[in-house]
């Protein structure tokens, strides 16, 4: 029997915070007691928060480790292990690693196929018990591409695919309705000249016309085959949300307007917004600010997107904004767990997985992580 006792803690429950003790035993939360007592052998948390481990549904962080600079490839195992350690150190205990499927071949805007190789390496490291936290797969399916169906054929029900997101980056719509913002992004990321950018836009429009409808149907069919949760990406208006709802989509990643987010709420689709948007006070693409949606009651889940440490900070921002810390923290724990069908984690409750973190607040929106436990084992 392995046992860890975290005593004299402020325990974050779904609706309230209570002072007490959490007992972790054999990978589960065995008992919750109230009071300030510190039993023999327990760790005195000195009033720190003890809360569920954070659950990340969408992060591009692994891609940064795989390609630390444009055109520079890093060994996959080393990249995944570094990514895993970084997430554990940010309090994330379950991650859906976002991998793009659907490639563009040739030209200045080339995106090469990589998802199958990376997913296989993640699964191999899981099987070897080499990872600190739980890694699941999120396939980001780009319909404006050439190889989507071919790449899907390499995946199946045994690949732990929890989420499939339907993405369409056709220029002039969704995330980059404003082509000037897209040009700024592509020139900054890929060093495109104005002429190369015009060629990129023309080619993407051609790909969308040639493949878009067929690829969209393939995404829906694939998600049903592997039993994955379906997500939309960058919904912009009510018509797009209505289409998402008809497809059975239950997660909306980064809607770009208040109109779309409001329609998602009405349709019962959970809205995910990026923590960097929330913390920075706006979207780098010129789309709706996460704070605007939070004020209007249309923000359900926070994603770290491209800054893992932003997940906890973003939840603290929401707790301060709403005047309700448990509500803010639910956006990174209980709500994403439920949305992804993970019924065994995301809450401090007896019998659930012992995925917990210890956090010392340093101010209303800042905190220091003091410990991460996954399945009752301390990993950071």
- CATH 2.30.40.10 residue ranges of the chain are 1-52+345-380
Distance between CA 338 and CA 349 in Å, rounded?
A: 14
Q: What does DSSP say about strands 54-59 and 301-303: parallel, antiparallel, or unpaired?
A: unpaired
- Predicted pLDDT of residue 31: 97
Q: What is the pLDDT of residue 188?
A: 59
Instruction: Please tell me the predicted confidence (pLDDT) of residue 197.
Output: 67
Q: 11-68, pLDDT tens digit by residue?
A: 999 999 999 999 999 999 999 999 999 999 999 999 999 999 999 999 999 999 999 9
Which of 3.50.50.60, 3.20.20.140, 3.40.50.1820, 1.10.645.10 is the CATH number of 54-344?
Answer: 3.20.20.140
Q: What are phi and psi of 14, to 5 degrees?
A: -55, -35
Output the pLDDT for position 71: 82
Q: Kindly tell me if the per-residue pLDDT of 174 is higher than 60.
A: no
**For position 2, what pLDDT does the model report?**
86
φ/ψ (deg, to 5) at 322: -85, -10
Q: What size, in residues, is the chain?
A: 380
The residue ranking higher by pLDDT, 41 or 173, is 41
Region of poorest pLDDT, from 115-119, 150-154, 171-175? 171-175
CB of 252 within 8 A of CB of 271?
Answer: yes
pLDDT one-digit tens code per residue, 220-272? 999 999 999 999 999 999 999 999 999 999 999 999 999 999 999 999 999 99
Can you tell me the distance from the alpha carbon of 324 to that of 110, in angstroms, rounded to the nearest whole number? 45
Contact criterion met (CB below 8 Å) for 308 and 377: no
pLDDT of residue 182: 59
CB 84 within 8 A of CB 45: no
Q: Rounded mean pLDDT of 316-329?
A: 98
CATH numeric code, 1-52+345-380: 2.30.40.10
Per-residue confidence (pLDDT) for residue 126, from 0 to 100: 97
* Residue 183 pLDDT exceeds 80: no
Q: Which of 192-196, 218-222, 279-283, 303-307 has the weakest average pLDDT?
A: 192-196
**pLDDT tens per residue across span 85-121:** 999 999 999 999 999 998 877 655 567 899 999 999 9
What is the CA 323 to chain-centroid distance, rounded?
A: 24
Q: Label residue 335 by pLDDT band (50, 70, 90).
A: very high
pLDDT of residue 143: 87
pLDDT digits (tens, 9 = 90+) for 116-141: 999 999 999 999 999 999 999 999 99
* pLDDT for residue 181 is more than 90: no
How large is the average pLDDT for residues 346-370?
A: 97
pLDDT higher than threshold 60 for residue 293: yes
* Res 243: pLDDT: 94
User: CATH 3.20.20.140: which residues of the chain?
Assistant: 54-344
Whole-structure pTM value: 0.91
CA-to-CA distance for 314 and 274, rounded, in angstroms?
Answer: 8
**What is the tens place of the pLDDT at every residue in 185-221?**
655 555 667 777 677 667 776 777 777 788 999 999 9
Q: What is the CA radius of gyration of the chain?
A: 21
Give the pLDDT of residue 199.
Answer: 73
CA angle 25, 30, 31 (to 5 degrees): 130
98, 140 Cβ separation under 8 angstroms: yes
Nearest 5°: phi and psi at 222?
-65, -45
């Amino acid at each position: 029997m392995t046992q860890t006792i975290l005593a004299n803690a402020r325990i974050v429950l779904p609706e309230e915070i209570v002072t007490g003790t959490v007992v972790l035993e054999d990978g589960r939360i065995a008992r919750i007691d109230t009071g300030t007592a510190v039993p023999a052998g327990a760790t005195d948390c000195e009033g720190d928060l003890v809360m569920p481990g954070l659950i990340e549904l969408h992060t591009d962080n692994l891609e940064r480790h795989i390609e630390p600079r444009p055109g520079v490839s890093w060994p996959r195992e080393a990249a995944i292990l570094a990514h895993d350690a970084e997430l554990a150190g940010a309090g994330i205990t379950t991650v859906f690693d976002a991998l793009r499927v659907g490639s563009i071949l040739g030209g200045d805007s080339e995106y090469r196929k990589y998802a199958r190789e990376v997913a296989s390496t993640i699964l191999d490291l899981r099987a070897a018990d080499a990872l600190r936290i739980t890694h699941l797969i999120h396939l980001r399916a780009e319909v404006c591409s050439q190889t989507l169906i071919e790449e899907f054929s390499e995946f199946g029900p045994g690949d732990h695919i929890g989420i499939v997101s339907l993405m369409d980056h056709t220029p002039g719509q969704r995330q980059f309705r404003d082509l000037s913002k897209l040009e700024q992004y592509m020139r900054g990321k890929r060093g495109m000249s104005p002429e190369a950018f015009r060629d990129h836009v023309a080619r993407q429009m051609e790909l969308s016309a040639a493949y878009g409808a067929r690829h969209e149907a393939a995404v829906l069919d694939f998600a049903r085959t592997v039993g994955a949760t379906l997500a939309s990406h960058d919904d912009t208006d009510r018509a797009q949300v209505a289409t998402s709802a008809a497809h059975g989509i239950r997660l909306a990643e980064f809607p770009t307007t208040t109109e779309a987010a409001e329609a998602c709420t009405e349709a019962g689709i959970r809205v995910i917004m990026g923590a960097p948007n929330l913390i920075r006070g706006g979207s780098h693409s010129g789309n709706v600010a996460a704070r605007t949606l939070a004020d209007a009651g249309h923000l359900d889940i926070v994603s770290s997107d491209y800054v893992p440490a932003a997940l906890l900070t973003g939840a603290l921002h929401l707790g301060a904004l709403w005047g309700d810390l448990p509500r803010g923290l639910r956006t990174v724990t209980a709500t994403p767990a439920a949305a992804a069908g993970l019924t065994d984690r995301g809450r401090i409750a007896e019998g659930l997985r012992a995925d917990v973190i210890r956090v010392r607040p340093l101010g209303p929106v800042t905190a220091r992580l003091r410990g991460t436990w996954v399945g009752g084992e301390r990993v950071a």
